[in-house]
Each structure stands twice: as C-alpha cells, then as structure tokens.
C-alpha cells in the first residue's frame, strides 16, 4: 500500500495505471468505520486498483460546523485500509487541494437545495467541487459512494452525468450497527445515552416501511408516524422528515415506487442523517 | 475530416486516439473567421489530432442577448476547417449537451464578476460549464483560446487549475483586420459606418500604449485618454474601460508590468470587446 500526498504524484501514477488497469476510487473524510470498509471491498470487486482518498474537505463545512473537531486518525485509517488490501491512499492537505486564489465551485442547482441543503448552505457545492477535483486527479473508472448520504450520492450522480465525467458512480447500501444505527464517523460524538436515543431514527424508518407494506401511500400520514416515533424520547430534535422523489428530491404527497424517506436529527450536539427507500415488492 | 454530433461517439474516438496521439481542442461557436483559423493552426502545431467544436452555447447568453440571431453557417465553417486540415469537428446540438433536468454549473468566483461579468451576469458560468463539458468529452491535451476574450481565457485557466483538469490551456494573440479591428463573429452585425466607428477601439488602445511607453503609469490618466478617443465620434457607447491586474482582473491605480487595458463598447446594437497588455520593454 502506497500513500500519496501530492496531486502531481497521484496524477502521474493514475496515468500510468490507466494504460492497462481499471481504477476504483472511494472518497472519504477518514476516521473510517465498517461502512467505509464495505465501500473499499466493493471497489476491489469492481477494479484492479483501489484508491481511497482521505481528505477532510473544508469547503463542505459551514462556518458553524464541526470542521476543527471532525475526528481524524490517519494511522488507524491506514491500518484498516492495509487489512483491506487497498492499493493507494491519496492523502493531500488542504493547501494542496485549495492553493492560493482558489476560486472555482460546482453547483448542482435544485438538487443541492432540498433536504440537508436547506440548513447546510453551500455544503453540496463543497462536496461536488472536491469530488470533481478527486475525479480529475485520480481518474477512476468507478467511484463508490454510500447510500447513507443519499443527497450527496444524487448530487454526484447528477454532476457526473451533466459534466460528462467519464466515471461510473456506484452506490452502496447503508451499513448499520447491529442495533440499527447507520454507521457514521460522527457517531463517535454520541454518549451512550445519546446512542440509545439515536436508535429512534432507524426504528421510525422501520415503522414507516411496515405501514408502506400494509398499503399506506399518503406521505403526510407516514411522516406523522415517523415524527411520533422520533419524539417518543427527549433529547432528539428533528431537522427534517422528508418523503421525496428519488431523482429530484422534491417532496411527494402520494408515494410511488422508489420514493425516499430521509431524516435529519440532532441528538445532543450531533447531527445525524439516515434514509430508506420505499420499493414496491 | 470527420463530423461528430454525439457525446458518446466523440468520447469513444478520443479514448481511442489518446492511446498514442496528442489531441488539441479549439472550442468555438462557429461562424469562423481568420482569428479562429489561427487557433486551429496553433492547435495543429501542438498536437497530432485537431478537434474543433462548434456549439452556440445557450447557457452563456443572457435573456436579452443575441442567442437566436447569433450568426451560424455550418457548411461554410466545415469548408474553412477542411482547408486547415482539421481532423474532427465536434458539432453537438443543445439537447445533446444539456439533456433533461440539466442542473450543474461551474462558477469561477471573483474572476467572473469583473469586466464583462458586471453586465453579462451568468455569462462566465455558462462559458466555464460548457468548456468543462467539452474537456471531459474531447479529453484534449491542449486547448487553444484567443486572448481577445481575455476574461474568458483567465476564467478557463483558473478553472482548469482549480479543478485539476489535465489539459494545458494555450492562449493565442488577438487576430485583427488590417484596419485594426479585432476579429469577431459579431463584426458581421456592423454596417460600414459602424465598422469605421469601431476602429476607435484599437485606436484608443494604441494611444494608451504610446503614453505607457512614454512613462505614464497612472491608470486614471490613461483611462481618460482612452475614453476621449472613444468619444471622438458619435454612435459608440462605452460599457467599460478598465485597467486591471492580469491575474485577478481587479482595477489597478498604478500600472505595473502586465496590467491589462480592457474595453467593452456598444456600436449601434453590437457589443464589441478588445484588450491590450502593458508590457515593460
């Protein structure tokens, strides 16, 4: 396993590799958990060479968000990736990615404004921008993204299509703790009690799926049920409960196939998101 | 010479060519003149394969601009390009470039807001976006742009650097009519009288260069002289006369090496731009 920290070296290596190998990229912000490692295993299935980028991207954090305290542990990450037979870690610093007079940003209009975009203004611009840069530097044939960050996945799929990027964006199902909590680097912020409270999120989604299977197709009814479950304990603040179209992320009133239930909550100071897709059997 | 109209076919051909050839791209909106053909000749010097794109890009026109009446003549363009031994014309239609639900736009903040950006709001977002798409589709090693569209050149250079695009942006000096008027597809809008009036633009730049060579370094004085020359005939409206830093495009008060004099005027209904760089001997 090789760790590369400069754009120049990464690009030169990718150019060399692309001559006779397929490359898959897993973009991460580090502090890896089992969810990331599942993406790495998927990448290894898809391609000859697996590149994992570790970069806590400043442009996707708002001024009041947790950039400074976002958890970081490169040595631990490197050990985990070594065990998964990762080929290359791309590990640039902020100066390498955003040099002096950096000015260019990518907006995926519409899609970026729903769900998390309402409160995290500029977040998806930062995400789209850094992912475009990583695509141009690593030049992967495949890039694997978790479905847990559903809006991020949709923004990146749209960007790749719209800008004619020659990369296949591959979604991967959300990986969960045994108790149902969606894996996230931010789970490390949760106290034991907060962790228990957070389980209401997956519990509310399970309840919604149960009602959907019994035939409920009316969004306001499902949303009310989800909100009731979430409010059944103190210490959880709902940011949104949205039932939306899987392509446009616009709210739907009547549920058709592939609508998405997306939830964002704050448990203590920790912001958590999760989602589930309603699929006709 | 081959004409390609689909993204899919262009990309497949470029992938094939890149295995052992260098590609140079000249992006144009067609209605070619000697200025474009000089770019094509430069492209042929740089690379093995020359691709000229012809696409009147709707996203760079404002709602009150001349998209519908922008001059078009594909057959004439193709004949001119054939004579220059162009290898490939990439000639997509708007639907091919901007499919349903198109949402992604690239902003080069700061740079896009000066000079023409003040009145042509959104113009450089449209330019940056379509050029990024063309780069991703044609995958050139080199892309040649005229210095006549100075702000466009700077926006694209910055975008390519910022987004780590693997393409060398090559500037090419402005090509002029014998009488000094910078070549532009929009010159075709000018009546004979308007054409004569338009010559004030290059005349005013020559006067500014003369004063600069005599030692004048104070922008307001130079700008005043330029404006006096431009106002010496009726029928010309000044949009801006700017003396700016060549990298940031911000106004400068004292001229240092490589400051740029940039002018935008309206002659009749036709908007014309031009520029000249102050270079210490």
Per-residue pLDDT reduced to its tens digit, B52-93: 999 999 999 999 999 999 999 999 999 999 999 999 999 999
Residues A18-32 pLDDT 10s: 989 999 999 999 999
Residues from chain A that touch B159, judged by Cβ atoms under 8 A, are: 104
> Which position among B36, B114, B123, B141 bears the catalytic label?
B36
Say what the pLDDT of residue A17 is.
Answer: 96
Q: Is B158 on the interface with A (CB under 8 A)?
A: yes
Model confidence pLDDT, tens digit, residues B127-143: 999 999 999 999 999 99
Is A108 within 8 Å of A128 (Cβ atoms)?
Answer: yes
CB atoms < 10 A from the CB of A101, how many? Answer: 12
Q: Indicate if the pLDDT at residue A34 is higher than 80.
A: yes
Nearest CA in chain A to B12: A166
Residue A257 has pLDDT above 90, yes or no: no
* Chain A residues within 8 A of B165 when measuring between CB atoms: 136
- The whole-angstrom distance between B162's CA and the closest CA on chain A is 6
pLDDT (average), residues A81-95:
98
Note the ipTM here.
Answer: 0.96
Average pLDDT, chain B: 96
DSSP character for B189? G
pLDDT of residue B113: 92
Whether A203 and A179 have beta carbons less than 8 Å apart is answered as: no
Question: Is residue A281 very low, low, confident or very high in pLDDT (cuts 50, 70, 90)?
Answer: confident
The answer to whether domain B185-274 has CATH 3.30.1300.10 is: yes
Look at residue B131 in the predicted model and tell me its pLDDT: 98
Q: What's the gap between Cα B102 and its chain centre?
A: 24
> Strand pairing of A49-54 and A23-28?
parallel
pLDDT of residue B280: 87
Say if the Cβ atoms of B166 and A108 lie within 8 Å: no
- B interface mutation test: which of A11, A94, A104 has the most B CBs within 10 A? A104
Check CB contact of B138 with chain A, cutoff 8 Å: no
A104 and B106 within 8 Å at the Cβ level: the answer is yes
Distance CA B65, CA B269 (A): 11
Contact B46, B54 (CB under 8 A): no
For chain A, the average pLDDT equals 96
CATH T-level fold of B2-172: Rossmann fold (3.40.50)
Q: Do B159 and A104 touch (CB under 8 A)?
A: yes
Could B164 and A7 be called an inter-chain contact, meaning their C-beta atoms sit closer than 8 Å? yes
C-alpha dihedral sign at A181, A182, A186, A188: positive
CB B275 within 8 A of CB B261: yes
Please give the biggest Cα pair distance in chain B: 57
Instruction: Clarify whether A36 is annotated catalytic.
Output: yes
Buried-state track B211-230, b at ≥16 Cβ within 10 A, e below 16: ebeeeeeebeebbebbeebb
Neighbours of B96 (CB within 10 A): 15
| Averaged pLDDT for residues A74-97 | 98
Residues of chain A with C-beta less than 8 angstroms from the C-beta of B249: none
Strands (E), chain B: 2-4, 23-28, 49-54, 88-90, 104-108, 142-146, 168-172, 236-244, 259-267, 270-278
Q: Are strands B2-4 and B142-146 parallel, antiparallel or unpaired?
A: unpaired
Subunit contact A133:B247, Cβ cutoff 8 A: no
**Which tens digits make up the pLDDT trace of B35-58?**
999 999 999 999 999 999 999 999
3-state secondary structure of A62: coil
Handedness of CA A5, A7, A13, A19 (dihedral sign): positive
- Residues of chain B neighbouring A106 (CB-CB closer than 8 A): 104-107, 163
* Confidence grade of residue B173 (pLDDT, cut at 50, 70, 90): very high
Average pLDDT value for residue range B14-32: 96
Separation of alpha carbons A34 and A50, rounded Å: 17
Q: Return the domain boundaries, chain A.
A: 2-172, 185-274
Given a cut of 90, is residue A280 above it in pLDDT?
no
For range A118-127, the mean pLDDT: 95
Q: Rounded to an integer, what distance in angstroms lies between the CA atom of residue A40 and that of residue A34?
A: 10
Is the pLDDT confidence value at B257 over 80? no
Contact A101 B133 (CB under 8 A): no
For A164-193, the pLDDT digits (tens) are 999 999 999 999 999 999 999 999 999 999
């Amino acid at each position: 396993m090789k760790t590369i920290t400069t754009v120049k070296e990464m690009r030169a290596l990718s150019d060399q590799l692309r001559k006779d190998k397929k490359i898959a990229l897993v973009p991460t912000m580090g502090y890896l958990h089992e969810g990331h490692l599942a993406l790495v295993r998927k990448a290894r299935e898809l391609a000859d060479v697996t590149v994992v980028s570790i970069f806590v991207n400043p442009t996707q954090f708002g001024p009041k968000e947790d950039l400074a305290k976002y958890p970081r542990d490169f040595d631990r990450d490197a050990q985990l990736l070594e065990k998964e037979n990762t080929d290359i870690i791309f590990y640039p610093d902020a100066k390498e990615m955003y040099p002096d007079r950096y000015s260019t940003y990518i907006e995926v209009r519409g899609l970026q404004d729903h769900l998390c975009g309402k409160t995290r203004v500029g977040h998806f611009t930062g995400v789209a921008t850094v992912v475009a840069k990583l695509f141009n530097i690593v030049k992967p044939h495949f890039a694997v993204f978790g479905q847990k960050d559903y809006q991020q996945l949709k923004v990146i799929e749209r960007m790749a299509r719209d800008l004619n990027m020659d990369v296949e964006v591959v979604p991967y199902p959300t990986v969960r703790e045994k108790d149902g909590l969606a894996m996230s680097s931010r789970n490390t912020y949760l106290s034991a009690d907060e962790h228990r409270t957070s389980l209401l999120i997956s519990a509310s989604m399970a309840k919604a799926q149960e009602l959907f299977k019994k035939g409920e197709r009316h969004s306001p009814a499902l949303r009310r049920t989800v909100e009731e479950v979430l409010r059944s304990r103190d210490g959880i603040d709902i940011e949104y409960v949205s039932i939306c179209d899987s392509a446009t992320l616009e709210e739907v009133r009547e549920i058709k196939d592939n609508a998405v239930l997306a939830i964002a909550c704050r448990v203590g100071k920790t912001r958590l998101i999760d989602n589930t897709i309603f699929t006709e059997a």
